[in-house]
Structure 1
Amino acid sequence: MRLVYQIKGEAGKERRRPRDSQFIMFTLPKKESRAPTTCLGLDTNYGDGLERECSRKPDQKLPEHYGVGDPTPTFSSDSSHLSSRGRISKWFWDSAEEGYRTYHMDEYDEDKNPNGIINLGTSENKLCFDLLSSRLSQSDMLQVKPSLLQYPDWRGHLFLREEVARFLSFYCRSPAPLKPENVVVLNGCASLFSALATVLCEVGEAFLIPAPYYGAITQHVYLYGNVRLVYVYLDSEVTGLDTRPFQLTVEKLEVALQGANAEGVKVKGLILINPQNPLGDIYSPGELREYLEFAKRHELHVVVDEVYMLSVFEKSLGYRSVLSLERLPDPQRTHVMWATSKDFGMSGLRFGTLYTENRDVATAVASLCRYHGLSGLVQHQVAQLLQDRDWINQVYLPENHARLKAAHAYVSGELRALGVPFLSRGAGFFVWADLRKVVQYLPEATFEEERLLWRRFLDNKVLLSFGKAFECKEPGWFRLVFSDKAHRLCLGMQRIRQVLTGTPSPGARGWRPPTRRDPSRAAVAPALRYEPVTERGAEREAAVAEVSAARKGQRVRRRGLGPPRAAGKARAVRRPEGCGRRPTPLGRSRPFTSRERFDSRTAFPFFTWPAPHWVPTCLPAHCSSCSFLSHPPPSGDLLPPTGVSCARGSAGACGIPDSAGRRGQDSVPCAPPPREEDQVVKVAQGALAPAST
């Protein structure tokens, strides 16, 4: 989020910046003698990402890359009781929190509000509440000592700082034990960003930050410290020396730094998020050292946010903390933060910690703990949790990673089936999906269309985060959070599919259940997918879907698909184009041949596209069998844990056979793949049942 202004010169002529600027700044309001400037607002199309759009419309001027203006007139009309800073704070809340406020006014509840909004936009881990609730309810968490009810050391109680130092030394794999005197604890990373911006920068100075990035950092560093951000734009296209999309290089940092200096903006530091939010990227040790050496050359502070360091569920990625590096290039200017909100799914507990070798920085940040400190009871609970290494290593982390991996596999399969490309990563709680590639979803690559699509998702009762909120310069990207309970995640993906396929939600205006006499109504039913017969797919889950307003056992005649079978039989809907099958002149479908199939993995090696097998068929309305998987995994693969199992039972009770070929007693027998002549499928009724966690 940022404020962008057009600057008017003499005679009202616009002063334009060069087109080759690779950065854009969040502007600091200042008083000027010229007339008030015009605020373009959050929804306006601007930035390097629109150069292609403007080239298609020669009469449209290129938007401003950045600008400086006084935002006070924008907020003065309806906020007469607030100062200019208060009006800016209110504007941030009104604009940035629109979707979040709407969600809280109509929050989904399986029993009380089943038609409420499902939040797949806020990055929270909701998969392991059962584990956390059990651990936090034990007797060692409930002790109250007199010292916990008194004013603590503003850095935090010594017992907590010692435990944090041991915890970070172990999980960050530091070469030497970290020192408790270098640890400061606050109530979350938001307060840490605010405090660091205040103590490291003067008013009007700036941080470099790769974009897209976690957009709330703009508020963290600006509202209190009046510190700007210089965005280092990353491209989705692999160009030059890049080896992957959205790759950060030292050359891009140099260009942004030189551009900021040329504009008279002093850059004091660099902000890195590792693993990255919203991309899910992980910086290698070599890349981290290059960034740190770049910062040392220019005498910049480096703030590294490692809040997702224990949420890397793909072990092959080999995550390394910056604290694990031998001989940091500039340890006095390297500051690392971590919190329990993501890795331990406790965003409401409000705990964050800073580790820095710079004692002056630690002392200055600690002085602000008067406003951002932790209660003694919370400090005691966090210390008890962090010191329980056996529970963390043997219970929580393995189960959490397994559940994240299963949920990620399900969402990945749903996006593949829809033909939506996305960055395939193994860290964090989200996927970064590109809806530009599916033209019918986003007809024009503009930020206005992106926001309209976001609004359509919200109207269909699912909350996502659009790319503009992360300062992505290319419109059409969305962040989708998958770390939610199975029944909510399935229902949320169903609502996403309804928006992308143009299918209204049951209960929405204009929606009618299909009938035999009106086959055109059948188009509103969610398409039931099935996989083509492949060598690897000998069996598949029973194809189950739910149409909320359709009657049980109802027969639906669809033109060109043959006569309907008797109630209780199966009907199959033709797969969407590009999902492994193609229609024939007779209205049926057949598999693509090797010459007809588009080799997307060669053309787009970094994105995940529809595959002819291993596509989850666990539909949003009914998780029928094993957690998010459509085929038995190969031997040795980790099965999804019971925490994200299907609504009917645990993974062991679903229809997937064990090594001896046996099935659970409560399992649903897996049906063979539908034949070409079987054009009718049973639409099973049944309410969503909550997952076991």
Structure 2
Amino acid sequence: MPHLSRRARERVVEIDSELPIMKLLPERFHDSVLNPEGVIAMGIAENALMTPVFTEYIEKNMRLHADHFKYHLTARRGHAHSTEDALPEYINDTFHPRIPVTRQNSVVGPGVGSLIGEFCWQVCDDGEAFMITAPFYGGFQPDCQYPSRTKLVVVDVPPEIDPLSKDAIPYLEQTIEKSKVNGPTIRGVILCNPHNPLGRVYPEESIVAYASLAEKYDLHLLVDEIYGNQVYPSSLVPNPPPFVSALAMDLPMLAKCDPARIHVVAGPSKDFGASGLRIGILISQHNPEIIKLLDSATMLNAIPGPTDAIFAAAINDKEWRDWFLEESRRRISEAYEVIVTWCNLHQIPIFPSYAGQFAVMDLAKILERFGEDKAMAEKKEALTFAMLKAGVLIVPTGQDQSPTRYRIVFVRPKEIIELALYRLEAAFGLSK
């Protein structure tokens, strides 16, 4: 066989360990017309509730011109109303930062995951690490690992401790102290707010505690706020606490932390049901060196011209944009109630969520149906096989202290949600 680099050989092993949902061939996915018997993947966070509305708007209001098909650098000349100009204003209008976001303290790139990967490449040497508490969004692992080869050290917090509370901080500290002896070197910590997969926001005191931790141990604090515009009420949490961006917090609260350590990533693709249009923004208001490095890194890896045109049209139309975001929250809330009702019907524990596009269920009793004497990994494998056979798939929450928790993405049209739940009933062996 022709030679492969050591990092490529390591990457092959990583690919083999990916979740089943990442291995499904495109032709296996459900389509109401083209493939009605296909697998309904309820583990991919795409807001299909609002995609038709966004599509209709763009068809009527977006215009492409010749420069949108040029290299990004030359296309920027003479066109002031690009997404690079509009996206900072979008963050200012929706996240209310104390210091305005500008093109000078932010970088727009092809997706939040891509920006996280570039950020890790800039701040970590080969084999160094970021920390994150469990459970966590599984995509952070490949974002960090490829191409920068940054490790992701997962911190297990005891089940009785809320991982979003400041009570989780001592467990992060323990991990840092152990890493000083056994490695790897920790360079930063990732905080996902609102949390994926738990669907809740971090209290402000927790964010302050994270900032203090970063200062104490000379770390970067990278805050992923991509679901910040998706907090909604539900029957389980009728008055959800508001999302507060790290950019909006009182500076005196964070005064003990060098603000150059704090970086925020966000973006409109999740808000507008357009995950396939890769676009994100990294904001570092007090670290011009990071901005300079990332700006250079994204120069030849910029967002495509048509994506630029689409989002510039949508987020510059502030009246329509604000209506859209509010309507999205309303529809997300309605869809969540379908999941709550179904879980209550089948006595499946569901954890109260009020942010993002996913709910967490405890399938302990369901997993027992797949062999009381089997190891947990075997039960999960058998459950996955049963779900795929039934034409539906949800996934575990990640490296979780509660291994029986699964995440279901519910932002789908009602008829798709109901079909997916019907198939889950078949896979779980539940009565109708």
- Normalised by the length of structure 2, the TM-score is 0.90
Q: Map of 1:49-448 to 2, 5 A cutoff?
A: 81-96=3-18, 98-102=20-24, 104-139=26-61, 141-144=62-65, 146=67, 149-152=70-73, 159=81, 160-235=83-158, 237-238=159-160, 242=161, 244=162, 247=165, 249-314=168-233, 316-327=240-251, 328=254, 329-357=257-285, 358-394=287-323, 396-438=324-366, 440-441=368-369, 443=372, 444=374, 446-448=376-378
**Aligned AA (1:387):** N
Higher helix share: 2
1:428-461 CA distances to partner (integer Å, 9 max, x unpaired)? 1111111125564453562332232122212211
Match of 2:236 in 1: none
CA distance, structure 2, for counterparts of residue 154 and residue 204 of structure 1: 38
Unpaired stretches in structure 2, ≥5 consecutive residues: 234-238
1:110 deviates by: 2.2
1:56-83 CA distances to partner (integer Å, 9 max, x unpaired)? xxxxxxxxxxxxxxxxxxxxxxx75533
Match of 1:558 in 2: none
Match of 1:461 in 2: 391
Q: Map of 1:435-584 to 2, 5 A cutoff?
A: 435-438=363-366, 440-441=368-369, 443=372, 444=374, 446-467=376-397, 470-501=398-429, 526-527=431-432
Match of 1:638 in 2: none
CA distance, structure 1, for counterparts of residue 299 and residue 101 of structure 2: 25
CA distance, structure 2, for counterparts of residue 500 and residue 147 of structure 1: 49
Paired residues of 2:232 and 2:355 also in contact (CA < 8 A): yes
CA distance, structure 1, for counterparts of residue 221 and residue 74 of structure 2: 26
CA distance, structure 1, for counterparts of residue 240 and residue 104 of structure 2: 34
Q: 1:175 to 1:294 in 2, by over 3 A?
A: same
CA distance, structure 2, for counterparts of residue 149 and residue 111 of structure 1: 36
Paired residues of 1:189 and 1:339 also in contact (CA < 8 A): yes
**Aligned AA (1:288):** I
Moved more, 405-414 or 81-90: 81-90
Q: 1:93 to 1:273 in 2, by over 3 A?
A: same
Paired residues of 2:121 and 2:147 also in contact (CA < 8 A): yes
- Normalised by the length of structure 1, the TM-score is 0.57
Paired residues of 1:302 and 1:335 also in contact (CA < 8 A): yes
Q: 1:256 to 1:201 in 2, by over 3 A?
A: same
Report the secondary structure of 1:181's partner residue: coil
Q: 1:371 to 1:457 in 2, by over 3 A?
A: farther
Q: 1:142 to 1:371 in 2, by over 3 A?
A: same
1:406 deviates by: 0.9
1:337 deviates by: 0.5
1:427 deviates by: 0.8
1:223-261 CA distances to partner (integer Å, 9 max, x unpaired)? 2111111111134x32xxx4x476562212111111212
Q: 1:488 to 1:367 in 2, by over 3 A?
A: same
Match of 1:639 in 2: none
CA distance, structure 1, for counterparts of residue 137 and residue 36 of structure 2: 30
Paired residues of 2:51 and 2:274 also in contact (CA < 8 A): no
Q: 1:346 to 1:292 in 2, by over 3 A?
A: same
1:471 deviates by: 1.7
Paired residues of 1:163 and 1:387 also in contact (CA < 8 A): yes
Give the structure with higher Rg (CA).
1
Unpaired stretches in structure 1, ≥5 consecutive residues: 1-78, 503-525, 528-693
CA distance, structure 2, for counterparts of residue 188 and residue 275 of structure 1: 18
Report the secondary structure of 1:340's partner residue: coil
Q: Which has the higher contact order (CA 8 A, sep 6+)?
A: 2
CA distance, structure 2, for counterparts of residue 155 and residue 278 of structure 1: 37
